[in-house]
Amino acid sequence: MGSSSLQMLVGSECMRRCSGLTILRALFCMTICWMMMPTASAGVGCDKTIFLTFDTGNMSVAQQVADILQQEQVKATFFVASEKTSHNDFSLDASWKNFWLSRINEGHAFGSHTLHHTYWKKDAGSNKVIVQSQFGPHAGKLQTIGQEQVCQNIQGADQRFKDLTGRSLDKIWRAPGGKTSPMYIAMAKACGYKHIAWAKAGFLGDELSSSAYPNAVLLQSALDNLKDGDITMAHLGIWSRKDPWAPVVLQPLIQGLKAKGFCFETLANRVG
């Protein structure tokens, strides 16, 4: 067994032991385990592919996530909506222009998360759906909309992003909460956008209760269960979690996946 394989084995066993500790001790334990993990360059010696994706969320850890991605030299896909942030602005306001321009320059991919973070609720007949936006002029209200408004919801994020940065989104989108129906996905496809969900193991749990699902448990679950071709999903900040998932879990996760032979790619080529 090579030194990297042995180091990975030791680090993995260390992570398992962390999951049984109290939250504060688990976080300290995870830091020690991460230091035991071997480092690897993206694309070197890898034989599996993983797709990291991030929805906007409240943007409270956006810069930390970006810094780690840049440090580890991996690319991700960001699904953007104009969501209220922890800075009391919105994620597609002019105040976030430089953040998004930097991510563009780093070579990441970008998709729509609907302009106002609009949730699908149910289908309404053969060509209409009932939706509810979290933000915007109709926030909190149920609306019955047709094909044109479905396109406006998805394209609105694209247009706002282009106005802000000069770059259009890739022709992919993700429904808030992952809530869809076959008809809703087909309506979006008619607008020119392919829906991107996430793998079961790719749900990284950053919106779950940190007391019930501490970071050490979420990290170990991801390292144990992610497989070749999986799409992951986390946020650039989440209101409900008291102990933020990022950046504490993100760097050990990337390091651990590299050590297991994963390359990191964007979803820009999943259009169509």
* Residue 211 included in any domain: yes
Parent domain of 214: 3-112+161-176+193-270
* Residue 125 included in any domain: no
Let me know: does 80 contact 161? Beta carbons within 8 Å.
yes
For residue 143, the Cα-to-chain-centroid distance in whole angstroms is 27
Tens of pLDDT, residues 142-153: 999 999 999 999
* Residue 80 included in any domain: yes
pLDDT recorded at residue 135: 98
* Residue 53 included in any domain: yes
Checking 69-74 for CB contacts under 8 A at 24+ apart, the result is: 69/106, 69/108, 70/106, 71/251, 72/42, 72/251, 72/254, 72/255, 72/258, 73/41, 73/42, 74/42, 74/254, 74/264
CA distance 53 to 176: 13
* Residue 225 included in any domain: yes
Residue 188 backbone dihedrals phi, psi, to 5 degrees: -65, -35
* Residue 187 included in any domain: no
* Residue 147 included in any domain: no
CATH for 92: 3.20.20.370
Tens of pLDDT, residues 207-261: 999 999 999 999 999 999 999 999 999 999 999 899 999 999 999 999 999 999 9
Burial class (CB in 10 A: 0-12, 13-18, 19+), 51: buried
Please give the full DSSP string across 119-144, using - where no structure is assigned. Answer: EEEEE-SSS-EEEEESSSTTTT-EEE
* Residue 131 included in any domain: no
Tens of pLDDT, residues 93-135: 999 999 999 999 999 999 999 999 999 999 998 899 999 999 9
Number of domains in the chain: 1
